[in-house]
Structure 1
Amino acid sequence: MDDSSPLDRLDRRIAGCRACPRLVEWREEVARTKRAAYADWTYWGRPVPGFGPADARLVIIGLAPAAHGGNRTGRMFTGDRSGDVLYQALYDVGLASGPTSVSADDGLELYGVRVTAPVHCAPPANKPTPGERDTCRPWLVQELKLLRPTLRAAVILGAFGWQAALPAFAEAGWVVPRPRPAFAHGARVTLADADGPKGLADLDLFGCFHVSQRNTFTGRLTPEMLREVLRTAARAAGVP
């Protein structure tokens, strides 16, 4: 008998997906050839599921795993510089047990927050196609539906994630305003529960520049800017 949680079962299904031929070929090629610095690693080389508790009140949605980050380690935003910035900030605001995420078995815990992405495979040049984004959307919809009973806020990293997440939230049970709200750092939008007064709860959506090296190295996104968005979102979600 399988006594795992529905979210654990979803994660296993995600990790076995082979729906996008270009992404399958790329992620597996990267896992074979590796980067010299990680020559002794056995790369994950599969779709990367979300990371964090099943009763999360806050979700962070990025873009896609990095070729030598999540595609190597098997955990979202783990093993690359973008992840270094994100997990340090999560630790700084009390949402993570430690400031670094280096491997899937390093013991790191997230408190009330789950990290995921609209595309679960590492894409060439960090750019999924619109078709790949849409093919992967049902996984995010299912994940959001499972999180829906406790979920109260979301931080979306970057315009791509924002555009991909809005229809997923709509399919998962929230009402997205029309016209769709535009992405901006610091944007805040409230999504009503589609079931109205009998529904679960509204959800506060926050925009944040992506933690890409381009943004963090140039100062477009500073650690304090990221911490401020996370603090605000955590308060909205009711995460201690």
Structure 2
Amino acid sequence: MPPTLRAVERVFCHFWEVPETTSRLIDNPIDDPSAAAPGAADLAGLDELVTRCTACPRLVEWREEVARVKRAAFRDQEYWGRPVPGFGPPDAAIAIVGLAPAAHGGNRTGRIFTGDRSGDVLFQALYDVGLASQPEAWHIDDGLTLHSTRITAPVHCAPPANKPTPAERDTCRPWLVRELDLLRPTLRAVVVLGAFGWQALLPVLADAAWQVPKPRPKFGHDAHAELPATDGGAPLHLLGSYHVSQQNTFTGRLTPAMLRAVLERAKGLAELR
């Protein structure tokens, strides 16, 4: 084959080649959440599967590059660099749904909302209303426990610029679907932090054990909707809160008192004392 044709062939094959997902940190990867998630028998098993996910090449590359380069303040620490599972007891009555792990927070510590400014605000509020054992979260072995509460996210990997794509959100969805399935016996209220989480969660709820009203509830701080159950069980209370991002907390758009009020309302609706 002439050199020119060989060059064209290489370009053509490269153009049509499907990129492979590779990971330096995961030895037994899972590349299809839709196939793996339904097989999780309990939340501990689901969390273990989540940590092995390599379904989104862009997110794998980003989270591991961040873990390799590190932020200067954490250069002596070993980053987690993998998907970050949910956190909290398997019999939670309240779920808190965020966006995705922070690059130097959950992606560093291995626990969602741990080790970043957003988590500082969230865990202080959870402690203030009696849903957390301590007001701060530093690392995965700091002794923190949650009371009747589980924190999760629609995307389990830290995304560039804190912005997962719609395709990445949808690829990650089976993990959240199975998580809610496993929480179903005790779950009574969900607090969603931010519009992204709200938009990502509604399709999951519509395919689960609850009926989403039409038109769909709109996101807003202190928004509330009661979703009837389709399986004869208890309804689910859906509540909205502005996200605990620095953009919101530093500007006063979300204050600690505002966040505590939403969490207290969730406690009441979930019939927790």
In structure 2, the partner of 1:227 is: 260
In structure 2, the partner of 1:31 is: 67
Letter in 2 for 1:232: R
CA distance in 2: counterparts of 1:126 and 1:60, whole angstroms: 18
1:127 and 2:163 correspond: yes
* Alignment check: 8 A CA contact 1:53 1:111 kept: yes
Secondary structure of the corresponding residue to residue 250 of structure 2: helix
Report the more deviating stretch, 51-60 or 170-179.
170-179
CA distance in 1: counterparts of 2:215 and 2:158, whole angstroms: 31
Secondary structure of the corresponding residue to residue 86 of structure 1: helix
CA distance in 2: counterparts of 1:5 and 1:97, whole angstroms: 27
1:54 and 2:90 correspond: yes
Report the more deviating stretch, 48-57 or 168-177.
168-177
Give TM-score scaled by structure 1 length. Answer: 0.96
In structure 2, the partner of 1:175 is: 211
Q: Which runs of 4+ in 1 moved over 4 A?
A: none
Q: What do the CA deviations read for 1:93-135 (whole angstroms, capped 9, x no partner)?
A: 0100000011111110100000000000000000000010011
1:158 and 2:194 correspond: yes
1:191 and 2:264 correspond: no
1:237 and 2:270 correspond: yes
1:30-109 matches, within 5 Å, as 30-109=66-145
Letter in 2 for 1:200: G
* Alignment check: 8 A CA contact 1:69 1:78 kept: yes
Letter in 2 for 1:227: R
* Alignment check: 8 A CA contact 1:192 1:203 kept: yes
In structure 1, the partner of 2:236 is: 203
Match of 1:17 among 41, 46, 53: 53
Q: Does 1 or 2 have the higher relative contact order (CA < 8 Å, sep 6+)?
A: 1
CA distance in 2: counterparts of 1:56 and 1:135, whole angstroms: 25
CA distance in 2: counterparts of 1:134 and 1:190, whole angstroms: 24
CA distance in 1: counterparts of 2:198 and 2:41, whole angstroms: 28
Equivalent residue pairs, number: 234
Deviation at 1:172, TM superposition (A): 2.1
Unmatched tracts of structure 1, length 5 or more: none
Deviation at 1:63, TM superposition (A): 0.2
Give TM-score scaled by structure 2 length. Answer: 0.84
1:130-141 matches, within 5 Å, as 130-141=166-177
In structure 1, the partner of 2:43 is: 7
Unmatched tracts of structure 2, length 5 or more: 1-39
- Identity of matched residues, %: 69
In structure 2, the partner of 1:214 is: 247
Secondary structure of the corresponding residue to residue 175 of structure 1: coil
